[in-house]
Structure 1
Amino acid sequence: MAPLRLQHLHLPSIHPHYVPYSLANRVQELLRRQHLDFKDSLSSSSSASNASPPPSPPPPTLISFTPAPIFTLGRRQTAPLTPAEAARLTAPLLISPLSSPSPSPSTPSAPSAQLTNDASTSSNSTGAISTTPRLLHSPRGGLTTYHGPGQVVLWPILDLHPLHGAYRTFSVKCYARLLEETTIGTLGKGFGIEAFTTEDPGVWVRRLQQQQQHQRDREERDREDGLAKIAALGVHLRRHITALGTALNVDMPGPEDVNERTNPWARFVACGLTGRGVTSIVDELAARGGQSVDRLLRLRQGAGGHQGQSTREAEVAGVWAGELARHIGLEEGDEGVEVAGKGEVIRLMEGLLADAVGEHDELQEERSYLERIKEAH
């Protein structure tokens, strides 16, 4: 029998067509339902008088994608936003094509920016798009955060108590630590960035200029000064089946950009942590004067990485998937991961939208995205 591998579904995006958060959630709920149905089938078969062969368990799966701009509000956001706060978050946002394709012989160049079918989105000749971020209440803990282009969102679909014993068992606390360790390992092994956790949620780095100052004045400065969040974490569980996960910043505006028109982080206090900034892989590599993210990803491709994944975010997701496979007890690195083809992922999304129900604007956005991706594919 072939060893169990982590299934990796990367939902594709090409600027200016990013994955609607609602469509990614449809994929997540489908896979989660498969795990819940499997648990139900085991209960039914154990109580049946005539025993039948047990069904095969769904494999552990990772969904990764780069979302269209969206602000999500966690369960700790008990006070409703005022009309002024909501208007500030959903004001038009200018998105530039920050994430260049990772050069690969099998990777076509991305088409130039064009007008989309979504009435809330327009573009100009530079490739930048003006779009209206969505606002969503999320089942995760925490307060307000942002997801959008330049970021990769990583949602593992796992059974924390797998009855088949094919991979490790986790408590809720240990699962949160798994997400942190997977992200820290990805940053360290993939990009040479030292990251860590603090008493606040998420994964953090110390900005290089702040780190040097800290070493000079360590007796006078707050030990936590100079920290910046590079990844946010949020988890939702249903009968030990996971949902949501990690959002890792690959190439996003930093704290130097205080213009709310171009930097969504300037519009709110991320996760309610006043005085803390955000950073990204690209910013941290530039601050350290080392190799660029594209150079590191090309080196990884030459060592057997996922060639043909067209964006930095997709490649970073591939590194993260390998780390996750190792941490849950599967084969290490790429050997423990099976990547679904783009055509397979598109067909899955098509099937979900065939009979989908929901808000008209939301469905229109999902179908417009899928048509554009199919044209590019």
Structure 2
Amino acid sequence: MRLRHLHLPSIHPHYVPYSLASRVQEHLRRQHLDFKDGSSTTTTLKPPPPTLLSFTPAPIYTLGRRQTTPLSAPETARLTAPLSIPSPKLGGQGGEDADADADAVVSLRPQIHHAPRGGLTTYHGPGQIVLWPVLDLHPPDHHYRHLSVKCYARLLETTTINTLASLFAIAAQTTEDPGVWVCRRRRRHSSSSSSSFREEGEEEGEGGEMAKIAALGVHLRRHVTALGTAVNVAMPGPEVLDEGWNPWARIVACGLAGRGVTSVVGELGGISSEVLDGMLLKQTQTQTLGPTVGSSNSSRERAVAGAWGEELARGLGLAGGLVETVDGEEVVRLMEGLALLPGENGEEEERVYVERIREAVCRR
């Protein structure tokens, strides 16, 4: 048995609607639940394979189960105010670099969504890769490890830590708080630029504050998983204070006051998108990613997700850590079948997204 990988592609500025990704996830989870009920319509008696769903979502703030009090009108207005999203070729950092190529910057309004996870408010959007494994923690055929909830959460964390180390040589770790963290080095920041720098001869210094580089959230239904991990690849860091550019500046991420948020690009000193893509190309040459749908940012997402999937497969105990990547045409047909019907709330966003991705498939 292999880990099946479905990647939902994006083409700047058309990122995956969170609602559509959630529907794809529920479709995959329903296959496992139907099999457990004995109501599967498949022609074989084999259980569905463990599956990884990966995507980069359109801007969205998700609220946890504990947030039962409705947001006030000013809070809602602040979260849904327009957000400047630079093209991935600019590195996702915003600020002066983006001003140099204003045509590659779009303004998108984040949505707000209640998620079935613990924790408080967090953000998902461009510059991030979301990784949602859908699998049965109590597999009936024992083709992979039987996991407790605690062990599964730890597996998500170690998978992310190992992937960051292998792809980018970033030393990440866990703390008493959920997610994956890095110890930020003390750096000086220019007052006129969003990028950090170290003066010639200046030591990096002792370890600085802890910052989250990947979020974690899990939801289970009869031992079948949903949600997972979101890795920050190229997003604004704490040095970007403008809420029009930095979505993290609008919230206390996950309710953890005093804890910052960082990304791969931020931890590598604000490298260019070309350098980032070169690192990924060098480290993922052995991956079988399948045909590419979309633009270069989709290839970047797929490379990170592919490496993460291989690490997860090994952690599950699947033979050789093998991953089967689902063809882009099959993924698009699945999204077309699950997209909202005309007249339903959110239908326009999903329709435009699916149309753009279908056009990319036809041009391939």
Aligned length: 329
The corresponding residue for 1:363 is: 347
Q: Does 1:21 align with 2:18?
A: yes
Q: CA deviation at 1:287?
A: 6.2
Matched, 1:87 2:77: yes
Point out the structure with max Rg over C-alpha: 1
2:206 to 189, 209, 214: 214
Q: Cα offset for 1:191?
A: 1.3
The two structures, once aligned, show a CA RMSD in angstroms of 2.4
Tell me the distance in 2 between the aligned counterparts of 1:292 and 1:127. Answer: 19
- Show CA shifts across 1:69-104 (max 9, x none): 000000122332211111100011111113579xxx
**How many Å apart are 1:151 and its aligned residue?**
0.3
Is the CA contact (8 Å cut-off) linking 1:323 and 1:332 kept in structure 2? no
- Does structure 2 conserve the Cα–Cα contact (< 8 Å) formed by 1:74 and 1:138? yes
Give the counterpart letter for 1:232 in structure 2.
A
For the residue of structure 1 that corresponds to 2:20, the secondary structure is helix
Matched residues, percent identical?
Answer: 61
- The TM-score, its normalising length taken from structure 2, stands at 0.85
- Match runs of 1:158-169 below 5 Å: 158-169=135-146
Partner residue, 1:350: 336
TM-score (norm 1): 0.82
Matched residue SS, 1:245 = strand
Note closer, same or farther for the CA distance 1:181–1:30 as it changes in structure 2 (3 Å cut): same
Cα displacement (A) at 1:331: 3.1
Indicate conservation of the 8 Å contact 1:72/1:146, yes or no: yes
Question: Is the 2:290–2:325 contact (alpha carbons within 8 Å) kept by the matching residues of 1?
Answer: no
Kindly provide the amino acid, as one letter, of the partner of residue 81 in structure 2: A
Letter in 1 for 2:220: L
Q: 1:136 deviation in Å?
A: 0.5
2:7 counterpart of 1:10: yes
Deviation, structure 1 residue 303: 3.5
Alignment of 1:7-86 (within 5 A): 7-41=4-38, 55-86=45-76
Q: Which of 305, 320, 342 is the aligned partner of 2:308?
A: 320
Counterparts in 2 of 1:359 and 1:208: CA distance versus 1, 3 Å: farther
- Change in Cα spacing, 1:99 to 1:36, as seen in structure 2 (3 Å) is farther
Superposed CA offset, 1:277-321 (max 9, x none): 1111112122699x9321221113433453754432221111100
- Give me the whole-angstrom Cα distance separating, in 2, the residues matched to 1:259 and 1:195: 27
Structure 2: gaps (5+ residues): 92-100, 188-202
What letter is aligned with 1:328?
A: L
Write the distance in 1 (CA, Å) between the matches of 2:143 and 2:88: 39
Q: Does 1:180 align with 2:157?
A: yes
Q: Check whether the contact 1:282–1:292 (CA below 8 A) recurs between aligned residues.
A: no
SS in 2 for 1:149: coil
1:239 equivalent in structure 2: 222
Q: Which moved more, 1:296-305 or 1:9-18?
A: 296-305
Greater alpha carbon shift after TM alignment, 225-234 vs 280-289: 280-289
